[in-house]
Amino acid sequence: MTTPKIRISRTGALTMALGAAGALSLMALCPAGKTEPQKAHAPNELLTGQAALNSDWADDQPGLRRHFTVADLPAAYATQSVDNGAHMVPKPDGALPKAPAGFAVEAFATGLNNPRKIITAPNGDLFIAESGPNRIHVLRDTDGDGKPDSNEVFVDGLKQPFGLAFYPAGPNPKYLYVANTDSVVRFPYHKGDLKATGPGETIIDDISGGGRLRGGGHWTRDIVFSKDGKHLFVSVGSRSNVEENDGLIEVEKRRARIFEYDVDGKNEQVYASGIRNPVGIAINPITAELWMSVNERDGLGDNLVPDYVGHVEPGGFYGWPWYYMGNNPDGRAKGDHPADLGAKTLIPDVLVQPHSASLCVTFYEGKQFPKEYVNDAFAAEHGSWNRARRTGYKVIRVATKKGKATGEYQDFLTGFVTTEGDVWGRPVGVTVGKNGDLFVTDDGSNTVWRVSYKK
């Protein structure tokens, strides 16, 4: 019997290819060179300009650095837009993600169901949004052996939950906030709770839900509180890709922006706009700035438009749908807009290879990793579908200096792609454990990975 391969877009939509004919039809979508061997790079080598922009999964290795700028980008349609989604296969026996020298990687938990956002409770419990089955899971390692001793469902019956946050900060939060696709709810929480002790309270009920993209559109909503605990941020992606829009302005109402609220969901403000899909948001521990991890648009060719990670400028406009990366117009976008909007379009801090599908982001505030990692960011790259030479499928480290992005990023956790080019793992969420481990959710193999420093 032919083993089925699962094809998943960067949005998370699944289709099956059963039998030889189906497998061949999917293989036809892959470019020549899929099976080229892994390319060797010097430890901590820096790729810049076109080398950084054009590289793919075969270049990836822990420690490899990349840096490119807007000046390195091609014109729109320099290459055709391709449908080259990941060919998912079961995790090969013995396969593990790869981390830099001195780090160890092991499976912390397996057998989850669509694990997405992950956060750490003050007591060290791991809370995981399982978006497919609409529930929040809790994992607890009571004896410190690196495996969960408790595995409980904190709450279910949600609606595509993704974002999670405890409030207030500190050792004794009173609530767990959960971002559904169309609302934000909060549940009573006391340190150590494995089950919700009361019903959820809906504090925001008018988030625009759904979408018109493959896989249901940009349905994820992330949440985070400001460092002073006075504000709640909620990220909402666009409803569509540009060329799919008739009546663009109406379709994109209350989309592609980050909202700011009081902690009880009142006094809504638009914090920043023109952000195609800000999947992940986090607070920089040094500057207290809001940061975001963003999926940019598809359909303009292999190397447009870069995804990005970096700080969010209050009141800033990032281009969607009319412009990208500064005053670069997207000719597909229709509809009236201010004449000076292109000049106002901001260029993000760190450009990531186009179509990488940058998802969740967190800052390393632990004490276990080497000191050069402290206060740097980690972002999960779910992997491309709209690029002939696939990229993503890894966790990157975003370098900072005194809290400011340097523009460079580094491969940290790789190895989710086989030498044949099939994909068995897709990182989504990242969180720092109480003892300084880095935990990564992977909705390709339905695993939570634990990365620890052993040297």
Q: How many CA atoms lie within 13 A of 66 on its CB side?
A: 29
CA distance 3 to 7: 13
**Hey, what are 139's tokens?**
């994992």
Distance of CA 217 to the CA centre of its chain: 15
For residue 270, the cross-strand partners are 259
Please, what's the b/e burial string for 227-257 (b: 16 or more CB within 10 A of its CB; e: otherwise)? eeeebbbbbbbbbbbbebbeebeebbeebbb
Length of the chain: 455
Distance of CA 127 to the CA centre of its chain: 17
CA distance 390 to 296: 16
- This prediction's pTM: 0.91
Q: Quick one: which H or E segment has residue 66?
A: strand 65-67
CA distance 208 to 252: 9
DSSP string, 266-328: -S-EEEEE--S-EEEEEE-TTT--EEEEE----SS-TT-S-EEEEEPPTT-B--TTTEETTTE
Say if CB 148 and CB 139 are below 8 A apart: yes
Give a three-class secondary structure readout of 345-380.
ECCCCEEECCCCCEEEEEECCCCCCCHHHCCCEEEE
CA distance 361 to 307: 13
The conformational region for residue 226 under phi > 0 = left, psi -120 to 50 = alpha, else beta, is: beta
- The tens-digit pLDDT sequence of the chain (455 residues) is 333 344 444 444 433 333 333 332 333 334 433 445 556 788 899 999 999 999 999 999 999 999 999 999 999 999 999 999 999 999 999 999 999 999 999 999 999 999 999 999 999 999 999 999 999 999 999 998 999 999 999 999 999 999 999 999 999 999 999 999 999 999 999 999 999 999 999 999 999 876 656 655 799 999 999 999 999 999 999 987 776 655 666 667 889 999 999 999 999 999 999 999 999 999 999 999 999 999 999 999 999 999 999 999 999 999 999 999 999 999 988 777 888 999 999 999 999 999 999 999 999 999 999 999 999 999 999 999 999 999 999 999 999 999 999 999 999 999 999 999 999 999 999 999 999 999 999 999 999 999 999 97
By CB atoms closer than 10 A (0-12, 13-18, 19+), residue 9 is buried
Block residue for tokens 């999960």: 380
Q: Quick one: which H or E segment has residue 249?
A: helix 248-251
Block residue for tokens 């609530």: 175
CA distance 88 to 299: 22
Block residue for tokens 């391709």: 82
pLDDT of residue 214: 60
- C-alpha dihedral (108, 158, 384, 247), degrees to nearest 10: -170
Say if CB 366 and CB 433 are below 8 A apart: yes
Dihedral angle sign, alpha carbons of residues 405, 237, 393, 150: positive
CA distance 222 to 376: 20
**Hey, what are 24's tokens?**
């061949």
Q: Sheet containing 269-273: which strands, arranged edge to edge?
A: 221-225, 231-236, 257-262, 269-273
C-alpha triplet 390, 392, 394: angle, nearest 5°: 140
For residue 66, the cross-strand partners are 47, 409
Please, what's the b/e burial string for 338-351 (b: 16 or more CB within 10 A of its CB; e: otherwise)? eeeebeebbbbbbb
16-40 tens-digit pLDDT: 333 333 332 333 334 433 445 556 7
Block residue for tokens 């899929």: 34
pLDDT of residue 377: 99
pLDDT of residue 89: 98
For residue 398, the cross-strand partners are 377, 409
Q: Which of 150, 185, 195, 143 has the alpha carbon at shortest distance from 164?
A: 185
Q: Which of 202, 209, 222 has the alpha carbon at shortest distance from 265?
A: 202
What are phi and psi for residue 273, nearest 5 degrees? -140, 175
Say if CB 193 and CB 173 are below 8 A apart: no
Domains and CATH numbers, the chain: 5-453 (2.120.10.30)
CA distance 200 to 198: 7
Question: What letter would DSSP give residue 244?
Answer: G
Give a three-class secondary structure readout of 329-346.
ECCCCCCCCCCCHHHHEC
Say if CB 55 and CB 41 are below 8 A apart: no
